[in-house]
Every structure is written in structure tokens, then in C-alpha cells.
Amino acid sequence: MILLVSLLALAALAAVPFFVGAYPLGLGIGILGYGALATAWALFSGPTRYISLATVAFFGIGAYTVAVLADLMPYPLVLLCAALIGLVVALLVGLATLRLAGIYFVIFTFGLAELVRQLVTYYEVNVTRTLGRYVFLPIGPEHIYWQLLGLLAVTLALAFWISRAKIGLALRVIGDDPVVASHLGVRITRTKLALFSLSAVAMTLAGAIQAPRWTYIEPSIVFNPTVSFLTVIMALLGGPNRLFGPLLGAVPLFLLFEWLSANFPNHYSIILGLLFIAIVFLLPNGVLAAWDKFAARLKNKEASA
């Protein structure tokens, strides 16, 4: 039943590009892009409660891989390469961060993203002597939309499978109490590393898929730390421990950004900031939890009526 509904929903979403204009499609791409990033982020950070700011490192690696390899090999192979590179970097990073916790992990991952950006810049400047690469691929917005949709669907399916499988339980124990986890014989290291890598590969692909949309790739564009921050904020807002939480944080926030920047281009920052503060106070447990509460109240009313 769940499978049927999901497939129907997927089919309906996949048909969207046939019916809408360029702008709604652009919105769709933006929403799916951040939806995929936030879902991938929560894959690791939700159960373990490790807040990672390395999102843009993988995102940028994906975009850069496409920029470098696009002319050399067919597109699907480029995506595969991007995923592999993301995986290797994730494994290295994962191994380096094993002992870190809390805020130390947060800032470490931020430093890591900046280090990757600096190294890519240095390489481009000194080895290839070009900064800024052009991506001219015959890939239209609807193709990007479909690929992102596919990525999001796969990431959601993974998240669903993990929450059901033993690995998910193991992870939650790590998040609740790492000491207990190790006593229970949970292989913390291996589990964490596996999840971190999966999440990183999805982020890498999100960057790779969107690269053709920008034509021009340079470190300050694709390694922009704002991407990491927005991903965290969206996932935290939606509730990172639920399957659809990150997605339901990404959709309204993305639309909110869009609406504010269109209607209040000069006071965008102030209004956005105040809304954020209000959200923290009014929806302390994320959008989904607030919805649950609301639904429960409705049910109570019905029952009493």
C-alpha cells in the first residue's frame, strides 16, 4: 500500500514538467535540490545528532567533477565518477572525525568544507591556470528536475529502509547514548562511517546534477557555505528524525525565501530573521511535530463532539 502510494506520488511529480512553465519548474528544481540535501543530511545527522556543516564540500565536489569531466566522458559516467569521489572523500573525513563530538564536530566539518574549497582553488590557479569552468551540456531544466526527483526518491527510500533496519536502531542508540551503544555491541565506528558516506554521496550527486544549470562554475559559487547552513536549518526546522521531516522543512522554507525576496527585496533580511526567531518559539519541535499536535487536537475534538 505504502509502496503504491509512493509510486503514484512519484509518477505525479515526474509529470509536473509537462504541465508547468519555466518558473514553477525552476521552483521545483530548487525545492527538490534542497529537499534532497536536507534528507541526505538527516540520514546521518538525524539519528546520530551530529550537526554537519560539510554539506557544501560534497555538493561542490559534485559540481566540480561535472565541470571537469563533462567533455571527457558520457554524462552517466560523469555522475558515477562524482559519486565515487564523494564516497572516497567521505570515508577519509569520516575516519578523521570519529573522535569528535558536539560543537567540535560542527566546526570541524565547516573547516573541512573551507579546506576543500581552498585546495580546489589552489589547484585550479596553479596547475590549470583557470579559475572558473564552463559547463555547456545539453541538459534542460526538466532533465535536472527528473534527476533530482530520482535522487530524492532514492534518498527517501534509503532513509526509510534504514529506519526499519537494524542499522537505524543502532544509530539511534548512538545518538541517545554512545556508551550504552558500545556496551550493546553496536559497531559504532562502522555504522557511523557507513551512514556518513551514504549521506555524502547523495549530497555530491545533488551538486553534480545541478551543475549544468549554472553554466559557470567557480569555487565561490559552488562552495558557498550558505548551502550548508540552509540545509541544516531546513532539516532542523522540519525535524531531522522523521522520514519526511527534512523535506517538510525544505519546502515551506524555500517558498518563504522566494516569497520574501520577491515581495520585500529591501527588507528581506529583517523579516526573514524575525520569522526565524518566531518559528523557534512557536514550533519548538519542528513543523511535523506541530502538525501532529494539531492533528491530535482535532481528533480529540471529534471524539468529544
Partner 1 sequence: MRFSAILTGLVLGGTYALIAMGLTLQYGVARIMNLAYGDLIIAGSFCAMLLFTAMGINPLIALFIVVPLGFALSWLVYALMLQPLARRSPNRDRLEGDSILATFGLLFVIQGVALVLFGANYQSYSFLAVPIDVLGTTIAANRLLAFALAVLFGVGLWLLLTRTRFGTVIRAVAANPGSAPLVGINVDHVARLAFALGGGLAAAGGVVVSMYLTFSATMGVIFTMKALIVVIMGGVGNLLGALAAGLILGVVETLVSSFIDPGLTLAATYLIFLAVLVVRPQGLFGKAAR
Partner 2 sequence: MTNLSRRTLLQAMGTGALATALASLPTFAQDRTAIRIGYAVSKTGANAGGAGISTIPNYLLWVDDVNKAGGLELSKLGVTLPLEVTEYDDRSSAEETVRAIERLATQDNVDFILPSWGTGSNLAAGPTFDRFGFPQLAGTAVTDMAPQLAQRWKNSFWFLGGGHDYANALVNLLVKQRDAGAINNKVAIASVADGFGIDLSKAATPAFEAAGFELVYDKTYPLGTSDFAPIINEVSGLGVDTFVAFSYPPDTFALTQQAVVANFSPKVFYLGVGTAFPIYPNVAGPNHNGVMGVGGIDPDSEAIAAYFERHTALVGQAPDSWASAVTYASLEILGQAITRVGDLDKSAVAAEIASGEFDTILGKVKLVDNQLRALWTVGQWQDGKFVGLAHTEGKAAREPVVPKPAWVPAS
Cβ 106 to partner 1 shortest distance, Å: 8
Rg of the chain, C-alpha, whole Å: 20
215: left (phi over 0), alpha (psi -120 to 50) or beta: left
Residue 16's binding partner, choosing from partner 1, partner 2, none, with beta-carbon cut-off 5 to 8 A by kind?
none
Q: Find the distance separating the first CA and the last CA of the chain, reported in whole Å.
A: 31
Residue 25's binding partner, choosing from partner 1, partner 2, none, with beta-carbon cut-off 5 to 8 A by kind?
partner 2
Residue 229's binding partner, choosing from partner 1, partner 2, none, with beta-carbon cut-off 5 to 8 A by kind?
partner 1
Cβ 255 to partner 2 shortest distance, Å: 12
Q: Which residues contact 119 (CB under 8 A, 6 or more apart)?
A: none
Cβ 96 to partner 2 shortest distance, Å: 22
By beta-carbon proximity to partner 2, the closer residue of 255 and 296 is 255
Closest CA to 258 of 34, 68, 38: 34
Please, where are the H alpha helices in the chain? 2-19, 22-48, 55-69, 75-96, 102-123, 141-164, 166-176, 178-183, 188-214, 219-222, 226-238, 245-263, 268-282, 287-304
Binding residues for partner 1, per CB under 8 A? 49, 51, 96, 99-104, 106-108, 110-112, 114-115, 118-119, 121-122, 125-126, 225, 229, 232-233, 236-237, 266-277, 279-281, 284
Q: Which residues are registered as beta bridge partners of 133?
A: 217
Cβ 29 to partner 2 shortest distance, Å: 8
Q: How far apart are CA 297 and CA 303, in angstroms?
A: 10
By beta-carbon proximity to partner 1, the closer residue of 84 and 119 is 119
Count of positions (residues) in the chain? 305
Residue found under cell 526546522? 237
By beta-carbon proximity to partner 1, the closer residue of 104 and 161 is 104
**203 with 253: CB under 8 angstroms?**
no
Residue 277's binding partner, choosing from partner 2, partner 1, none, with beta-carbon cut-off 5 to 8 A by kind?
partner 1
Residue 210's binding partner, choosing from partner 2, partner 1, none, with beta-carbon cut-off 5 to 8 A by kind?
partner 2
**48 with 199: CB under 8 angstroms?**
no
Q: How far apart are CA 141 and CA 17, in angstroms?
A: 9
Cβ 37 to partner 1 shortest distance, Å: 17
Binding residues for partner 2, per CB under 8 A? 21-23, 25-27, 29-30, 33, 118, 121-122, 124-126, 129-132, 134, 136, 210, 213-216, 218-221, 224, 226, 257-258, 261-262, 265-266, 268-269
Cβ 129 to partner 2 shortest distance, Å: 5
Residue 281's binding partner, choosing from partner 1, partner 2, none, with beta-carbon cut-off 5 to 8 A by kind?
partner 1
Residue 218's binding partner, choosing from partner 1, partner 2, none, with beta-carbon cut-off 5 to 8 A by kind?
partner 2
By beta-carbon proximity to partner 1, the closer residue of 150 and 225 is 225
